[in-house]
Amino acid sequence: MAYEPPTHSVERSLRATTGAKIVVGIDEVGRGAWAGPVTVCAAVTGLRRPPTGLTDSKLLSPKKRTALALELDSWVTAHALGHSSPEEIDDLGMTAALRLAATRALDALPVRPDAVILDGKYDYLGGPWTVRTVIKGDQSCVSVAAASVIAKVRRDAMMAELGVEHTDFRFGDNAGYPSPTHRAALRELGPTPHHRLSWAYMDGLPRWRHLKRFRSTSEPVGLEGEGQLGFDF
């Protein structure tokens, strides 16, 4: 499939309008999964020409993603990952869990960015950071595309490791997303310690519904509502 390669347009705009010298791109993976952490990558790329084929990780085959992630590890100026666990997602809600994971990624960088490009239209990060949100930033912005690929490959590897202990769920194949195999295993075996127990899919598990967790606070629909799918779809 043909696609337009990402550019440095947003990075250059932030430098020109805010005086930022170090601009970081942020993308997340795992927000719509039923199991596993939500993972955020923060990537600083400078203004160098990106590796050939760089784009949103969802547009790449697993083989191409893996090869590109290896190249990006040494190509990016700096990058770091942050995670929020299923327990934190259940306790805090997705918006706060994303903020926590992103803050952990930013804090882990060896340099402090002056400005942040955030994929999507919702600023879940907020102050004290200077944030610009970009819809489909993982396709249009070099730094966000790099973060997208690294985050996806690293989280997929983490889920594959978890799948070794829970073979019936096939986490290595579905990365915690609701595949038919995953849903069948949930019906039969119930949730693992890696599942998000506050999510709507628990309502479709009569044998295990007593394990569902509830929060006292609600989240904005734009973030919390995404991925909250039950079994009837």
Q: What is the DSSP letter of 32?
A: T
Q: Is 27 annotated as a binding residue?
A: yes
Q: DSSP H helical segments within the chain, as ranges? A: 9-18, 62-75, 86-92, 94-108, 137-140, 142-165, 171-174, 180-189, 221-224
Q: Strands 23-29, 115-119: parallel, antiparallel or unpaired by DSSP?
A: parallel
Q: Is 28 annotated as a binding residue?
A: yes
Q: Is 173 annotated as a binding residue?
A: no
- Count CB neighbours of 2 within 10 A: 3
Adjacency order of strands within the sheet including 131-134: 78-84, 38-44, 23-29, 115-119, 131-134
* Continuous segment of H or E residues that includes residue 37: none
Q: Is 40 helix (H, G, I), strand (E, B) or coil?
A: strand
- C-alpha 154/C-alpha 86 separation (Å) is 17
Q: Which residues does 14 contact at the CB level (< 8 Å), separation at least 6? A: 20, 23, 115, 117, 130, 132
Measured in whole angstroms, the distance separating CA 12 from the mean position of its chain's CA atoms is: 24
Torsion of CA 206, 211, 214, 219, to 10 degrees: -80
- Count CB neighbours of 202 within 10 A: 22
Binding-site residue set: 27-28, 119
Binding-site residue set for a divalent metal cation: 27-28, 119
